[in-house]
Chain A
Amino acid sequence: MADVFVVSDFNAELASRFIRVDPNSPVLSVETAPYGQVFQTLSAERPGSEAMTLFVWTRPEGIAPSYAALTEGEPVSIERLLDAVDIFAETVKRAAQRFRTVLVASWTRSESGRGFGLLDWSGGGQARALARMNLRLADRLEGHSNVRLLDSQRWLDVARPPRDARYWYAIKFPFTESVAQAAARDVKAAVRAFAGQARKLVILDLDGTLWGGVIGETGWQGVQLGGHDAAGEAYVDFQKALKTLSARGVALGVVSKNTEAVALEAFDQHPEMALRRPDLAGWRINWRDKAENLVELVRDLNLGLQSVVFIDDNPAERGRIAEAFPEVLVPDWPKDPCRFADALRQLDCFDQPSLTAEDRSRVKMYVQERERTESQRAAGSIEDWLNGLGVRVSIDAVGGANLARAVQLANKTNQMNLRTRRITEPEFLRWLSEGRRRQTLAIQVADRFGDAGLTGLISWELADDVLEIIDFVLSCRAMGRQIENLMVHLAVEAARAQGSPRVAAHLFPTSRNGPCREFWKGSGFDEPETDRFIWDAAKPYPKPAFIAVAAGANGAMSL
């Protein structure tokens, strides 16, 4: 069974091949359905499997005969067009029940030309009809957590030329191969996003990257930034693009060879800086090797190198980082600052299938984490520090408002993740509702530095003689405050309350969940076989005394 199933009303095999041969992770196998049979294929009893991504790429005239009639000059009511869209959307939604993820390309014109010219945006115009159809499709697919609409206009924007009729007559493909390649890249980015592989941190250089000039020589007053100057304006726009990214939950950090106090002055003092010091999750500004600084900063933020994008105007520094850390994404970077913002916006590594409140406030949380770490260094002992943190945990059943975040957490967390189970919302709900006695708790963590949000997830199922922990997931933002121990305590208490004699946790090792294994090995559980941990539920598992626990709005369990 292939990873991606491509369905189209035209010959989309070119796109399939670009997806198949792309060596970047994840490498995907692809199956292409016979073209021109979209409705039949999508409606077939079992067109795919729950492990597959379905990619549906169609022409508007291939889905709506009324649109074809419109392009031929017939008067067609908008209602007829929208009815056709509704039928297509319903078919896609039904198919979505059988696939893990469904990606649907928005519609663009498949022919070059001027449509109806001056009348194209009038009542019966093609441009207007197409816009209405796309909006209707987006509306109809909205709210389905495993279905996403891909903006196919982007693929045409980067292709030169996007259309060439020879491709249609030769291979029944309405665009050029560059469009197929761009589509393939977008599909891969979406698959990565659903697999929780989005990048979370952009590490930036300063001189020549965030501003022009050398701040060490001129001070913040002399750097090229803003003003009536093309490059100066471009640097500001690049900073604004970074700030937009930050609002999507991507943290920003700085690694620069400079004097820290001098460089930070620009963030605090320069009137045209779009980025300010609180926008930064962290920084290493000194004269040491950038590779060392980068590793330290990433470690401080509890992230992995595979989460990092490194941006530096200096190709030698980019080469150094790319060579030292193949996991770090080091994009080629334009020389001209006027192209910086576009280069950033073209990166497809930040795509996420959903955006939660936690994502939006992630940068704030990283700042809180920095302050927390500093307080730990200042504390006399780890016990003093934990006691002084004022940790508060709220525990809730998973469902409704917290479902998207809980599933996202399971899919994005690597280090403290018992089984690294990747799952969609429908799959998760289905799993919970299946006959066995299963329960899932969402853990929200706060302390005196701030609210880390929903950062923990534990689920278990009860068999005759064991409570088996299935998901044991904790965001790196909450690690090290004994929330892990509290989660184990909750599982043991549930077992005791329901008369289960044992609690078990089976770790599925990955290249990244070493911290989880380390925790379980030190948890006090027996390990009768490798990576299987057992607790005799006759004994309570101690709750960390310094953590205050409360039940959330969904009324999780008796605490």
Chain B
Amino acid sequence: MDIQTCLSLVYDALGRVNEIRPPEAPVPSQPDVVLVGDEGLLDSLALMTLILTIENLLREKTGQEVPIMQEADFETLTKQFRTPRAIAELIARKP
């Protein structure tokens, strides 16, 4: 998948995560908005929901299981999921 398609998929998942956030403070669909780590908008529950939702969307799109969180320690996780762009790049690297 190209980066743009992956980014669009991340935004779709963020839309789902926004359903459990206060309506007045949605996470914007912007590639470099900080999601986790310092000044990140998501707490751990929201981050996990985002990851699970992305995996669900990938399964719907490709018909295959595409785990994106395997074997990641917290530091790696924070780096890989820091922004929508970083997540899109992670997905694009998946075979």
The chain A residues found within 8 Å of chain B, CB to CB, are 11, 13-14, 17-18, 20-21, 23, 164, 166-167, 170-171, 177, 181
Contact = CB atoms under 8 A, between A and B. Distances in A.
B45 A21 contact: no
Contact of A17 (B20, B51, B53, B69): B20
A170 B72 CA distance: 12
A397 to B, nearest CB: 48
Given A13-B45, A14-B45, A171-B45, A21 B51 contact: no
A133 to B, nearest CB: 29
Nearest to B16: A177
A311 B51 CA distance: 39
B55 A166 contact: yes
B49 interface: yes
A303 B95 CA distance: 62
Contact of B52 (A13, A20, A166, A181): A166
| A interface secondary structure, majority | helix
B48 interface: yes
A170 B20 contact: no
A166 B21 CA distance: 21
B63 interface: no
Contact of A21 (B21, B49, B55): B21
B52 A170 contact: yes
Contacts of A171: 45, 48-49, 52
Contacts of A23: 23
A229 to B, nearest CB: 36
25 contacts: A14-B20, A14-B49, A17-B20, A17-B21, A18-B20, A20-B22, A21-B19, A21-B20, A21-B21, A21-B22, A21-B23, A23-B23, A164-B52, A166-B55, A170-B48, A170-B51, A170-B52, A171-B48, A171-B49, A177-B16, A177-B20, A177-B49, A177-B52, A177-B53, A181-B19
Nearest to A184: B20
Query: Which 5 residue pairs of A and B lie closest in terms of their CB atoms, listed nearest first?
Result: A17-B20, A170-B48, A171-B48, A13-B45, A166-B52
Contacts of A21: 19-23
A448 to B, nearest CB: 53
Contacts of B19: 18, 21, 181
A23 B21 CA distance: 11
A30 to B, nearest CB: 11
A177 B46 CA distance: 11
A114 to B, nearest CB: 22
A21 B18 CA distance: 10
A45 B21 CA distance: 32
B20 A167 contact: no
Interface in B36-76: 45, 48-49, 51-53, 55, 69
Contacts of A18: 19-20
A18 B49 CA distance: 13
A350 to B, nearest CB: 25
Contacts of B45: 11, 13-14, 17, 171
A171 B19 CA distance: 17
B48 to A, nearest CB: 5
Contacts of A14: 20, 45, 49
Contacts of B51: 170
A160 to B, nearest CB: 10
A206 to B, nearest CB: 37
A181 B20 CA distance: 9
Nearest to A180: B20
Contacts of A167: 52
- Most chain B beta-carbon neighbours within 10 Å: one of A11, A17, A20: A17
Contacts of A20: 22
B66 to A, nearest CB: 12
Interface string B13-32: 00010011111000000000
A181 B17 CA distance: 12
Contacts of B21: 17, 21
A175 to B, nearest CB: 12
B59 to A, nearest CB: 10
Contacts of B52: 164, 166-167, 170-171, 177
A13 B20 CA distance: 10
Contacts of B22: 20-21
A174 to B, nearest CB: 13
Nearest to A161: B56
